[in-house]
């Protein structure tokens, strides 16, 4: 009986592939896809590094929990401590250009991993608490960067606002989820001798890695986020009117909205007005963010082209500054309450002039 079952057990062991390895493969494919997609533009290196780190973490998780390789447990806390700084660095690249030199920024973001290394040598029991603080701290820092809403991403093109904003929020949520799981595991070992720890760690870590990987891929498109407007006074000031008049004139004369890579920083340089002043004026006077303001111009011209020319919807989409059909259709519906094809069937009509208002 033993001779019969032994080969079967070996055969089953050969077929066993831990789920984390499958996740690692999928994340690696995602990395290659993002790399090819962004090869013509300047890539967001922290986000790319974050995807690769998620691949590494998934492989280490498979080795530890799938094959019982305990030695990788020494590496995992250190690599885990590198995840939040990379997420923050990727978001920060879309928000502003840091005045600190690159070596200084690298040194600052390396502090969490260095602290975990020191704790592994001198006080291992404090590692879990330290990781929780790192994940929560960076999640809060990301949310603070996003507090001004769409216009926080000064260096991100306006096209594709919603996916990037959601990706960044999901990334912050994933960091908080990871911290919550670590806290639960700590109490599980304290009170229940780790009875539920293995299952919880396996499932939650994979979920966090997948969320972070997908979020990094989406946000690496360097797209601005969707709406949230700061709680500012809604009264329109004279300065607001002058600012908007200047930007309006620039939009109509130079057709800046046709630039698919237009962002708030570039718009501010062209107008000779501080980015924050443009953002505040549009938020306060028009109750919308700059991304919506620019897309209104794009949809306005799209309406005119659809009504007056025989160009295809795709040709019109690219000509006015959009790069994806999903975003073009979504913004077209927001402005006109109909699809581009439905608009063309109406041949423009009275809605053309209102679309750019």
The 8-class DSSP code of residue 237 comes to P
User: What pLDDT is stored for residue 349 in this prediction?
Assistant: 47
CB atoms within 10 A of CB 144: 11
Q: Where are the alpha helices (DSSP H) in the chain?
A: 2-15, 19-37, 45-61, 67, 76-95, 102-109, 111-122, 127-145, 161-192, 197-219, 238-254, 264-271, 275-286, 290-308, 313-319, 325-336, 340-346, 351-355
Q: What are phi and psi of 228, to 5 degrees?
A: -160, 125
Cα–Cα distance, 32 to 213 (Å, whole number):
12
Cα–Cα distance, 356 to 249 (Å, whole number):
13
Nearest C-alpha neighbor of 259 from the set 316, 202, 206, 319: 319
Q: Model confidence over 78-90: pLDDT tens digits?
A: 988 998 898 888 8
Collapsing DSSP to helix, strand or coil, 157 comes out as strand
Q: What are phi and psi of 253, to 5 degrees?
A: -80, -45
User: What pLDDT is stored for residue 105 in this prediction?
Assistant: 72
The 8-class DSSP code of residue 336 comes to H
120 class by beta-carbon count within 10 Å (0-12 exposed, 13-18 middle, 19+ buried): middle
Computed over every residue of the chain, the mean pLDDT equals 75
Positions in the chain short of pLDDT 50: 1-15, 97, 222-235, 349-357
Angle subtended by helix axes 238-254 and 275-286, to nearest 10:
110
Q: Is the pTM of this model over 0.95?
A: no
The residues that bridge with 157 in the sheet, in sequence order, are 263
3-class secondary structure per residue, 40-93: CCCCCHHHHHHHHHHHHHHHHHHHHHHHCCHHHHHCHHHHHHHHHHHHHHHHHH
User: What pLDDT is stored for residue 354 in this prediction?
Assistant: 38
Which residues are CB-neighbours of 322 under 8 A, at least 6 positions away? Answer: 159, 260, 298, 328, 331
* 322-328 LR contacts (CB < 8 Å, sep 24+): 322/159, 322/260, 322/298, 323/159, 323/160, 323/260, 324/159, 324/160, 327/159, 327/160, 327/161, 327/162, 328/302
């Amino acid at each position: 009986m033993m001779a019969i079952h032994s080969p079967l057990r070996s055969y089953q062991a050969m077929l066993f592939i831990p789920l984390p390895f499958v996740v690692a493969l999928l994340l690696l494919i995602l990395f290659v896809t993002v790399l090819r997609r962004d090869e013509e533009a300047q890539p967001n290196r922290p986000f790319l590094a974050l995807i690769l780190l998620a691949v590494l973490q998934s492989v280490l998780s498979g080795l530890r929990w799938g094959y019982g390789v305990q030695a990788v447990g020494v590496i995992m806390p250190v690599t885990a401590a590198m995840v939040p700084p990379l997420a923050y660095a990727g978001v920060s690249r879309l928000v502003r250009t840091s005045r600190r030199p690159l070596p200084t920024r690298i040194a600052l973001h390396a502090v969490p991993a260095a602290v975990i290394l020191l704790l592994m040598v001198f006080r291992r029991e404090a590692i879990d608490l330290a990781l929780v603080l790192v994940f929560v701290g960076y999640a809060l820092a990301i949310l603070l960067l996003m507090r001004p809403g769409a216009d926080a991403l000064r260096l991100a093109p306006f096209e594709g606002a919603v996916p990037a904003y959601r990706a960044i929020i999901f990334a912050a949520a994933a960091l908080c989820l990871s911290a919550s799981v670590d806290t639960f595991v700590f109490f599980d070992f304290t009170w229940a001798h780790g009875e539920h720890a293995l299952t919880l760690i396996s499932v939650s870590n994979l979920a966090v890695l997948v969320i972070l990987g997908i979020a990094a891929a989406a946000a690496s498109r360097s797209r601005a986020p969707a709406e949230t407007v700061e709680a500012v006074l809604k009264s329109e000031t004279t300065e607001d009117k002058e600012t908007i008049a200047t930007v309006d004139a620039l939009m109509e004369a130079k057709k800046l909205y046709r630039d698919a890579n237009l962002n708030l920083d570039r718009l501010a340089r062209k107008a000779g007005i501080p980015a924050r002043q443009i953002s505040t004026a549009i938020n306060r006077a028009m109750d919308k963010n700059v991304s919506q303001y620019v897309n209104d111009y794009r949809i306005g011209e799209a309406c005119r082209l659809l009504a007056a020319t025989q160009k295809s919807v795709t040709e019109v989409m690219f000509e006015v500054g959009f790069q994806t059909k999903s975003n073009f259709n979504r913004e077209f519906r927001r402005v006109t309450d109909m699809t581009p094809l439905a608009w063309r069937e109406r041949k423009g009509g009275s809605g053309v002039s209102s679309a750019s208002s």
